[in-house]
Structure 1
Amino acid sequence: MLRSIEVQSRRYPSFGKCVFCLDTENLTDEHVIPEALSGIGQVIIEDGSCSKCNAYANKAYEQDAFTADFLPIRNMLGLRRKPRGKKQKPRRMPLVSYADAAVDIANVKYTEELPIPNYPRQCSFVVHEPAGKLAGVDRSAGSAPFVLMFIDLWPNGAVQPYMVGTKHPIIFGAPEMVVAKMAYCYAVAERGLEAFDTTELLDLLKGRRMDVFNFVGKPIENERLAMLRLHKFYFRKRGNLNTVIVHLFASFGGPMYEVVIGPDR
């Protein structure tokens, strides 16, 4: 693994309208890879989203994902943060516990703070079953079972802290919504707004339906993908459906998600 935080920078030209609602007013750049998940390099659709759609995504699921599920790895890799004023607040990790492993886990208190270089560098991700639309299963009520996968960010030979327990918050659905939005933006940036029938996926991204696990899950087929960049995208064809595989933190051996974009238009 290269353990790179680089992405292949690209700026896609504007469509002259928001890629979500098609409004032509108050447009701003749309980050295909959100700034909060960007390291070196950016992937942008110029004037790709309107301020209203941008604000909705940020409030509905992006901030939840960036400050919970993705927080530890964002801080440990030093990924981008939007500037707020002249001084940034120090990056802070979730609290840890030094309790003995024999202690009842329900009574463990997480009260200690560790600086980032000393924090345990195993990051966890929830891996769900394939998207309901690919598996032929209605996942409107959620996705079960699921498993946790871990990626190790320790440099070779690094000394790891002893007997430290961490408490990593997870919000089911929020990171999957972020991934769905990334896949949609990549699909339209690469193929155009008229290439696919994205009606159902857009309903999800705009809050008109709430069944993200019908659209996002682990790949329906086993994939062996190159781990050359921080994040990578791949088109796939599953019957009459077009999908995009989003390989998050690819250069660190991170999780793969397959997102249903829709049929050809």
Structure 2
Amino acid sequence: MDPKVYPSFGHCIFCGSKDDLTDEHIVPEALTGIGQMLIRNGSCRSCNNYANEKYEQTALNADFLSVRHMLALKRKRRGRKQSPRRMPKVSYSIDSVDGVGDEGFDQELTADEYPPIFSFVIHSPAGLLVDEDKSNGSPSLRVGVINLALKRAATIPTRVAMRERRVMGAAEMTVAKMAYCYAVAELGTDYVDFSQLRSLLVGSRNDVFNFVGSPIVPEKLANIRLHKFYFRQRGPFLTVLVHLFASFGGPIYEVVLGTRS
């Protein structure tokens, strides 16, 4: 990423509190490589902890678990020695999977041995952009897969079944927060009416798919940097395209920020 540190606004960008402020990472630390983007004293510890507990950690330990381990992205230091990166268990014998049990998935691979594949869920565009209420969830989805094309010293099994957790909404909430933080850092807290998106991020509403989805206008973006952000104007709405793992051709999300006041 392009490392950048933005100055503090003097208050939490989520709730407005001026007390107990801490740095706000635009991209979660666990998804960063070299360099960080952050807002100095950008959030209060209460809002920071809420996001971490309610959706960020869930997404990091489910949707983004294997890719962040395979790319050896940052982990928070807890003592001098860190435990090995644990990948989801695999099977050498299962051809297809029915149900949600873990039976048969009993083999462990290291991050270097794990097939270098990242899969992700692709939703339809955000409800606000298509004038459709998606409060009850996204009505359709697809699965995208990219080959990370990593150079490996270890031998990768030629036949292996993988099973990875996906928590609907957790990754999308994390992406929504990234888009909001980036927009506020670049444009300020009052450039558009962020109130609806802020309400989503602090738990006052629960309709993430009205704000987050695939781009309403498909675009070919440059595959540069680990993650990239782009502003777009869609009718009355200002949006942000969030290109995750851009240098690997990863997923592109479009997040609705709000309208000009």
RMSD of aligned alpha carbons: 1.5
Q: What is the one-letter code of the residue matched to 1:227?
A: N
- Equivalents in 1 of 2:236, 2:13: separation in Å? 23
TM-score (norm 1): 0.94
Question: SS of 1:117's equivalent?
Answer: coil
Q: 1:151 to 1:104 in 2, by over 3 A?
A: closer
Shift of 1:257: 0.2
What is the match of residue 178 of structure 2?
A: 182
The corresponding residue for 1:126 is 121
CA offset at residue 105 of structure 1? 4.4
Which of 6, 9, 24 does residue 3 from structure 2 map onto?
9
Paired with 1:156 and 1:32, the residues of 2 have a C-alpha distance of: 29
Question: Could you tell me which residue of structure 2 aligns to residue 155 of structure 1?
Answer: 150
Give the distance between the partners of 1:104 and 1:25, measured in 2 at CA: 50
Which residue among 45, 50, 55 is the counterpart of 1:56?
50
Note the C-alpha offset of 1:28: 0.6
| 2:212 paired with 1:224 | no
Cross-structure match for 2:25:
31
Q: Secondary structure at the match of 2:39?
A: strand
1:82 corresponds to 2:76: yes
Quote the offset at 1:223 in angstroms.
0.7
Query: CA 1:154/1:161 → structure 2, altered by over 3 Å: closer, same or farther?
Result: farther
- 1:99–1:40 Cα change, 3 Å: same
Structure 2, unmatched stretches of 5+, are none
8 Å CA contact 1:231, 1:248 repeated in 2 = yes
SS of the residue corresponding to residue 53 of structure 1 reads: helix
Aligned twin of 2:13? 19
Amino acid at match of 2:93: A
Shift of 1:144: 2.0
From 61, 67, 76, give the equivalent of 1:67: 61
Distance 1:85 1:143, change over 3 A: same
The amino acid of 1:219's aligned partner reads: P
2:197 & 2:152 partners in 1: Cα distance? 44
After TM superposition, the runs of 4+ consecutive aligned structure 1 residues lying more than 4 A away are 103-108, 156-160
Instruction: Name 1:215's counterpart in structure 2.
Output: 211
Shift in Å at residue 149 of structure 1?
Answer: 0.2
Q: Structure 1: which 5+ residue stretches go unaligned? A: 1-6
Q: Once the two structures are aligned, what percentage of the paired residues are identical? A: 54
Q: What amino acid does structure 2 have at the position aligned with 1:25?
A: D
Question: Which one-letter code corresponds to 2:81 in the other structure?
Answer: K
1:196-252: CA deviations, max 9, x gaps? Answer: 101100110000100000000000001111111000000000111100000000000
1:237 to 209, 230, 233: 233
Instruction: Report the alpha carbon displacement of residue 154 of structure 1 after superposing the two structures with TM.
Output: 2.5
Provide the C-alpha distance between the structure 1 equivalents of 2:216 and 2:175, rounded to a whole number of angstroms: 16
Whether 2:39 is the aligned partner of 1:45: answer yes
